[in-house]
């Protein structure tokens, strides 16, 4: 029976050096030939899903950690921050002198000094991901299509806003001042976090997977989720089968039904074979 497969991007489909393992591409393409449907399910907004990922050949996208759902270029669901919320967020960040970027489907819009002030945070983030040359990386290396110098940061199509933490207290204050929003951090656990973010409330990957399944007329019994981080747990809890990458976090591993090998050790391919989505491909079988 055909399955509906949901795959996180960073740390799951894409390795910590920003590469897509060849074996993962082959596995996805063969699974789709076998009649399975494959969707990205990522924290990235659509503007951050670059062409090499689309070139794999995928059925659609759940982006912004659930705020956007697309099936074969048809928009199924899109929940953005309200005009009042985005104005309050941008003004709050400016008042605290915190640099940020606004994440929209139309692009990523950087605040006035994010390109300069974001360098240290992005280098630390890249170092934690074991990316070669992390000490020399620039914000542009991490976000090649980011729009810098945009005067109007009150974007009506905002999915979420990420900001550089000057300390963990910024996140705690954000939770206090924006109880109506989904508050999160990324780039590290707890007080080691590098960034905070404000997102659409009551939306996560699991909620939007259900919206897509309703659109497709598909059953939860036929779903498989792949991820590597705490943010993936809602889809692990919803889907019939869940797989965490061997390189994933402890909380995600504990929540998954199965832990495969690392993302850059054919983790996606090995799981596709184990779950019977594809037959073994000789080129990727360990000798």
- SS (HEC) of 267-286: HHHHHHHHCCCCCCCHHHCC
Question: Which is nearest to 126 in space by CA: 222, 215, 18, 225?
Answer: 18
Residue 261's Cα: distance from chain center in Å?
Answer: 20
> Residue with structure tokens 């869940």?
242
Integer Cα distance of 170 and 125 in angstroms? 18
Please name the fold of domain 83-199. 3.30.1240
pLDDT, position 229: 87
Query: Are 109 and 175 a contacting pair, CB within 8 Å?
Result: no
Integer Cα distance of 92 and 137 in angstroms? 29
Query: Are 7 and 223 a contacting pair, CB within 8 Å?
Result: no
Range list for CATH 3.30.1240.10 in the chain: 83-199
Question: Which is nearest to 159 in space by CA: 208, 212, 226?
Answer: 208
Structure tokens at 276: 């019977």
pLDDT digit string, tens, across residues 31-60: 999 999 999 999 888 988 988 999 999 999
> Residue with structure tokens 């747990």?
233
Residues of the chain with pLDDT under 50: none
pLDDT, position 91: 98
Range list for CATH 3.40.50.1000 in the chain: 4-79+203-284
pLDDT, position 287: 52
Cβ neighbours, 10 Å, residue 52: 12
Computed on alpha carbons and rounded to an integer, the radius of gyration of the chain in Å comes to 19
pLDDT, position 177: 98
Structure tokens at 49: 């899903």
- Give the CATH H-level superfamily of domain 4-79+203-284: HAD superfamily/HAD-like (3.40.50.1000)
């Amino acid at each position: 029976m055909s399955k509906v497969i949901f795959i996180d991007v960073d740390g799951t489909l894409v390795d910590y050096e920003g590469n897509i393992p060849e074996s993962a591409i082959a596995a996805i393409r063969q699974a789709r030939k076998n009649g399975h449907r494959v969707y990205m399910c990522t924290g990235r907004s659509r503007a951050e899903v670059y062409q090499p990922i689309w070139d794999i050949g995928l059925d659609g996208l759940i982006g912004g950690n659930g705020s956007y759902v697309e099936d074969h270029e048809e928009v199924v669901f899109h929940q953005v921050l309200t005009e009042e919320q985005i104005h309050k967020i941008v003004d709050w960040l400016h008042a605290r002198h915190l640099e940020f970027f606004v994440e929209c489907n139309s692009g990523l819009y950087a605040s006035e000094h994010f390109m300069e002030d974001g360098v240290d945070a992005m280098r630390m983030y890249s170092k934690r991901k074991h990316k070669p040359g992390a000490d020399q990386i620039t914000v542009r290396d991490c976000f090649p299509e980011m729009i810098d110098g945009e005067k109007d940061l009150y974007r009506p199509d905002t999915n979420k806003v990420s900001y550089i933490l000057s300390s963990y207290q910024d996140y705690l204050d954000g939770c206090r001042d924006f109880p109506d929003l989904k508050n999160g951090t990324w780039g590290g656990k707890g007080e080691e976090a590098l960034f905070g973010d404000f997102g659409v409330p009551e939306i996560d990957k699991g909620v939007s997977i259900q919206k897509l399944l309703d659109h497709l007329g598909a059953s939860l019994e036929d779903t498989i989720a792949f991820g590597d981080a705490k943010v993936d747990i809602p889809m692990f809890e919803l889907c019939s089968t869940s797989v965490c990458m061997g390189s994933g976090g402890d909380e995600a591993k504990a929540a998954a039904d199965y832990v495969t090998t690392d993302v850059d050790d054919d983790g996606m391919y090995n799981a596709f074979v184990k779950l019977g989505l594809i037959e073994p491909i000789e080129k990727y079988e360990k000798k």
